[in-house]
Amino acid sequence: MINSLALLLVTIAALFLSQGAQTTAGLAAVLLLGIGTVIGFFAFIHSHLIDRERQEELEMQALDQSRGDQSLFAGAAEDAYPARNARRQFEKWVVPGFTVLVLLGQALGLSWLLGELTGAKETGTGGGAVLSIMFFALFMIVLFMMGKYSAGLARMDGQEMLRPGANYLLLGSVVCTAAVASLTASHLGYHGWDHVIAWILFAVVAIAAVENGITLILEMYRPRVDGKKARLIYDSRLIGLLGQPGGLISTAAQAMDYQFGFKVSETWFYRYIEQKLALILAIQFVVLFLSSSFVVIHSNEKALLERNGKIQEEELIPGFYLKAPWPIDKVYRFKTDQIQSFTLGVVDDQHDEAKPGGEVLLWTTAHNHGSGMDQEQNFNMIVASRDPDADSAPGAVPMNLLTVSIPVHYRINDLKAWITHNANAGSLLQKLAMREVTRYLIGADIDELMGPGRVSAQETLKQTIDAQAKARNLGAEVLFVGLQDIHPPVGKTEPKDTGGVAEKYEEVIVAQMNAESNRLVALRYSAGKVPQARASAAEILAKARSESTYKVAIAEAEAKRFANQVAAFQSAPSVYKTRMKLESFKEATVGSRKYILSDPANRDVINLELQDQLRKDLLNVTVEQDN
């Protein structure tokens, strides 16, 4: 009961202190302490029932001894033990129901804490931070002392019900320490630590809730054995491990004893480590704290020293420096001699620099510039459309979408301005560049931007972004703005029957190229057909003239030959006839075999064979004469 009351008082005080200091880590500590308070009170009720059952057993034993005859009460019915029955019914029905309520409370607490973590207000900016640190430190000491004493008592026989409350007391000491660290960091200006610690405590509560649910499910299938003590289902092992990490060390020691076959945990070295572990950890923490005094500035870097919140005027050149430990001295170093870059739109996080020229990606192929994100997450921006038919065409709009991945290269030329004038100069420069790119693209034509106006657009964007950076004194100079990776959007969810934007854009370009190609083909046809027709006409006329000349000459020759033939016939008719017959016979029998036979009587016999030869290779054999 004392432990539960202490947890209740600390929970109420921590709630008021956390709201006053506006610390989310403190609210997470309140959630854990509140759950521990409820479990502590329930464990008190449970322990009261167990104590009643123990007293009942002692009374029954004393009664049996005073009677001397055990036959009357030996093996008495269950109705004779009302305290035992009450405890059994309590563990059978009330404990599981309470565990379910704790699980619901953890879920509601996580939902409330998640709303506080994702809220828009800045944490750790309230007043009374020093007072909150003092009280949380007091709570840390009180809870630790009470938890340590209760944990020691819980190891004794019959005092097991102290363990749930002791675990939450020790864990409450840990979360109060975390709240002190969060408030201290916020007081020094590091407000981000509050969210980090709050998320860690949120994860602890979430894991404890998951463990609670799993334990509740397994409890339904656990075999019940009379006389065997079972672990309380509302006693979280995770809370016990975080509150008493020594149990983990004891378990590791037992495992080592089992593996090595002898008592490793009883050796002098192990006992020395166990006794000096806190000192070793403290020494390591001190060494880690002092290690922040050493700073190395690399060759391509420059740095500025901040001492007690004030930036020193002198820049730190590359070299080794010794400074006061954090958070007294802090060093801000940046690569001022190196050109840095960021990408507006889709970031290419899988670019293979080993491939020459990179991977070739088509507009019509669903991609995300090689990144591991979803293809539908391509960054699309609005550009103007100067198509004169956009206003009259049904469903047309005077704008287009353009997927962009625009690299911007810059260099830090004033380190002090880069550090002091803005909390995050790099993020501000990126947002300014995105604003200028959006403002420029909304008035640029897509055809001009992707065509001849790309170079001028790059130069204009470079000048406007650089002017914005100089107007806000960021201390950076914009060197390059690239527009080489812009194209119409394409995605895997676009309709396949009609095609996507890139496909339609490609169809328009292809249609324009086909029209230009057809026009050039027509010009080529027109330029070649007319001279070809003229040449054909001249060729036909030349052939006609040649044919006419040839026919006239043949006709004149035939006429002259006929006149000569008439004169020859008139001079010697018989000779002319015989000659003409022989010439006609000669022309008609060209290729035929002719045989001329002579006899002694000088009678010439001429035998003419005018039939076609069957086989010339046999009949045309030459027979050699004997000499």
- Indicate the pLDDT class of residue 356, thresholds 50, 70 and 90: very low
pLDDT at 45: 92
Tokens of residue 166, six digits? 């002791």
User: Given this model, what pLDDT does residue 380 score?
Assistant: 73
**Six-digit token pair at 472?**
């806000």
pLDDT exceeds cutoff 80 at 370: no
pLDDT of amino acid 534: 87
pLDDT at 597: 61
pLDDT computed for residue 438 by the predictor? 87
pLDDT of residue 3: 92
pLDDT at 441: 83
Q: Hey, which residues does 29 pair with through a beta bridge?
A: none
- Give the SS3 label for residue 603: coil
Residue 333's closest CA among 302, 294, 308, 306? 302
Average pLDDT of span 155-179 = 88
Given a cut of 80, whether residue 593 has pLDDT beyond it is no
3-class SS letters over 475-538: CEEEEEECCCCEECCCCCCCCCCCCCHHHHHHHHHHHHHHHHHHHHHHHHHHHHHHHHHHHHHH
Nearest of 350, 307, 352, 347 to residue 326 by alpha carbon: 307
Give the mean pLDDT of 36-59: 90
Quick: pLDDT tens for 53-84: 888 888 888 877 776 555 554 555 556 678 88
Mean pLDDT, range 385-393, rounded to an integer? 59
Is pLDDT at 11 greater than 90 in this prediction? yes
pLDDT(286) > 80: yes
Written as six digits, the tokens of 280 are 């070793």
- Per residue in 527-576, pLDDT (tens digit) is 888 888 888 999 999 999 999 999 999 998 988 888 888 888 888 888 88
The pair of structure tokens assigned to 419 is: 């550090």
Q: Taking a C-beta distance cutoff of 8 angstroms, is the pair 331, 298 a contact?
A: no
Residues 133, 124: Cα–Cα separation, whole Å: 12
Structure tokens at 439: 């403002």
Mind listing the pLDDT tens digit for each residue in 169-182?
999 999 999 998 88
Q: Report pLDDT for 456.
A: 86
Please list, residue by residue across 84-117, b when 16 or more beta carbons sit within 10 angstroms of its beta carbon and e when fewer do: beebbeebeeebeebbeebbebbeebbeebeebb
- What is the overall mean pLDDT for the chain? 79
Residues with Cβ within 8 Å of residue 142, at least 6 apart in sequence? 6, 10
Alpha carbon separation from 299 to 125, 306, 318, 330 (Å, rounded): 38, 21, 5, 19
**Does position 258 have pLDDT exceeding 50, yes or no?**
yes
pLDDT for 130 equals 82
| pLDDT above 50: residue 354 | no
Rounded Cα gap, residues 624 and 526, in angstroms: 73
Judged by average pLDDT, the poorest of 93-107, 234-248, 604-618 is 604-618
Confidence of residue 12 (pLDDT cuts 50, 70, 90): very high
pLDDT for res 512:
86
Read off the pLDDT of each residue in 311-335 and give the average, rounded to a whole number. Answer: 80
More confident residue, 424 or 256: 424
pLDDT category at 355 given cuts 50, 70, 90 is very low
Mean pLDDT of 107-128: 76
| Of residues 319, 318, 322, 267, the one with CA closest to residue 294 | 322
Q: Is the pLDDT of residue 131 over 70?
A: yes
**What element of type H or E holds 310?**
strand 310-316
Q: Which two tokens stand for residue 79?
A: 């109705």
pLDDT single digits (tens) 412-426:
888 888 888 877 888
For a pLDDT cut of 90, what percent of the chain falls above it?
Answer: 16
Res 295: pLDDT: 84
- What are the tokens at 112? 């409330």
- In this structure, of 63-67, 71-75, 281-285, 467-471, the range with the lowest mean pLDDT score is 71-75
- Of the candidates 296, 347, 290, 292, the one whose C-alpha atom is nearest the C-alpha of residue 318 is 296
Q: Is the pLDDT of residue 352 over 50?
A: no
Q: Is the pLDDT of residue 229 over 80?
A: no
| Bond prior to 327 in cis (omega within 30° of 0) | yes
Report the chain's C-alpha Rg in angstroms: 54
Across 20-29, 326-335, 423-432, 460-469, least confident range: 326-335
Residue 172, Cα to own-chain centre: how many angstroms?
39
Report the distance separating Cα 280 and Cα 43, nearest Å. Answer: 36
Residue 520 has pLDDT above 70, yes or no: yes
User: Which has the closest alpha carbon to 105: 2, 199, 208?
Assistant: 208
37 has a pLDDT exceeding 90: yes
595: pLDDT confidence band, cut at 50, 70 and 90? low
pLDDT at 592 over 80: no
